[in-house]
Amino acid sequence: MRIGRSACVSLLGRSERGVLSTVHPRRGVDAVPACFVLEGALVAVPVDTVKDKGTPDLQRVANVEADPRASLLCDHWDATDWSQLWWVRATLVRIDADAGRRASLEDLLRAKYPQYGIDAHPFASLLVFRITELTGWSAVVH
């Protein structure tokens, strides 16, 4: 059943990871797994230096610089108990965040993902988005 905004926010907020989809100029949808935090109507996705990527110049960054639209899909799957299934999709638009907001979001990322607390400078950059729409489905009422 479709779920309301507050249930979507609750499920999104407790998700450990999501799939960030951006718009690639040639391929169209460009989806990658991503860490993220939710703060009010904002979603922050780090470009971190903790996981080896070879370069912080990631395609997802180039994609949102060219087209600020994105989406974040989070879900829960349980192969043995389908009553536990749910998904939430946040439609996003990239925004510029001031230094104070970025610092707050980085603190939330460190709190959610302990691996970021080990490194003194775990973030090469931070993609900050405003949620423009939330859509979700759940097998049970949340």
User: Which domains are present in the chain?
Assistant: 5-138 (2.30.110.10)
d(CA 127, CA 135): 21
Residue 94 and residue 61 in contact, taking contact as beta carbons nearer than 8 Å: no
Q: Which residues of the chain have pLDDT under 70?
A: 56, 142
Predicted confidence at residue 88, as pLDDT, reads 98
State pTM to two decimals.
0.92
| pLDDT at site 142 | 66
Nearest alpha-carbon partner for 10 in 73, 79, 65, 88? 88
End-to-end CA distance of the chain: 10
In whole angstroms, what is the distance from residue 36 CA to residue 105 CA? 9
